[in-house]
Amino acid sequence: MSDLFEVLKEKVSGRNLKIVFPEGLDERILKAAGRLAQEKLLTPILIGNIEQVQAKAKELGISLDAAEIYDPQTYAGLDELVTSFVERRKGKATEEDARKILLDENYFGTMLVYLNKADGLVSGAAHSTADTVRPALQIIKTKQGVSKTSGVFIMVRGDEKYVFADCAINIAPDSNDLAEIAIESAKTAKMFDVEPRVAMLSFSTKGSAKSEETEKVANAVIEAKRRAPELVLDGEFQFDAAFVPSVAKSKAPDSPIQGDANVFVFPSLEAGNIGYKIAQRLGNFEAVGPILQGLNQPVNDLSRGCNEEDVFKLALITAGQTL
């Protein structure tokens, strides 16, 4: 795990990246921001009442000399944010609406990213996933060709690194959604120096069972190969056929994936969420994430049960997504 983040540190260091933390008064956020600034990895932008944030940092013994603090109530550039927000919402918000909405720290922080005043955003220590993701979907939006954002975990154990998707966002993805998730997950894998070999998972291997569920995955494989023919990608696979060479040889002898997959796309959120937690709890893998993918600019969501280290790592990942 340390190697993974040492690589990320090297990638982001010296690039003058700025990451927004809307929860500027949270102790975990402040401690992580202080470390990030002290190690000169990036510039934290903390959102909150400036005097209160400074007082809290002083109480915790944290230097914010290399950080920036913005208060939505007093921010000098608010008029620019309001105008841009109204334009972006295309008739769904008046100027009066925008002035109220942008007092919300997540909306305010997301607008800073949208206007390139910051490079990414990390929130969720004190907010729900919806509070973090909704402004991103309304303002930053998904990349061209991607209809939905998705959430992946990097599963790490020693030198082993795997990508599991989607384990956080889409409850019942259809074939097109799964194809998108596969392609975006391959891009995320490369960010962590994993050369992607993508397996689309099911309870069937290469037609061994027939149902709407297996056909959905089989069609997703066809669509993903059409969109990204350069990817090493195949399915549908049962997990063992994607992961165990002897099983692959027996069940899918003609597949380019021969028990050596490292990116696993689950057919539903139910399967993905259960799968990553089994690997985490029974397999002693560390689950890094969820990392949101498919957005035009990086926004990531912490668990409300996170600690300082989780904030530090997710900020590095968010910075890494800009490269």
What pLDDT score does 289 carry?
Answer: 80
Each residue's pLDDT tens digit in the chain (323 positions)?
457 788 889 999 999 999 999 999 999 999 999 999 999 999 999 999 999 999 999 999 999 999 999 999 999 999 999 999 999 999 899 999 999 999 999 999 999 999 999 999 999 989 988 899 999 999 999 998 889 999 999 999 988 999 999 998 999 999 999 999 999 999 999 988 899 999 999 999 998 999 999 999 999 999 999 999 999 999 999 999 999 999 999 999 999 999 999 999 999 999 999 999 999 999 999 888 889 999 999 999 998 888 999 899 999 999 999 98
What are the structural domains, with CATH classification, of the chain? 2-141+297-320 (3.40.50.10950), 150-286 (3.40.50.10750)
Which amino acid is it at 260? D
Residue with tokens 């040889």: 249
The side-by-side arrangement of strands in the sheet containing 286-293 is: 232-237, 197-201, 263-265, 160-165, 150-157, 286-293
Percentage of the chain surpassing pLDDT 70? Answer: 99
Beta bridge pairs of residue 121: 20, 299
pTM exceeds 0.75 for this model? yes
pLDDT of residue 2: 55
Q: How many residues does the chain have?
A: 323
The 8 Å CB, 24+ separation contacts for 173-176 are: 173/148, 173/267, 173/268, 173/269, 174/216, 175/216, 175/217, 175/219, 175/220, 175/223, 176/147, 176/220, 176/223
Write out pLDDT tens, residues 35-68.
999 999 999 999 999 999 999 999 999 999 999 9
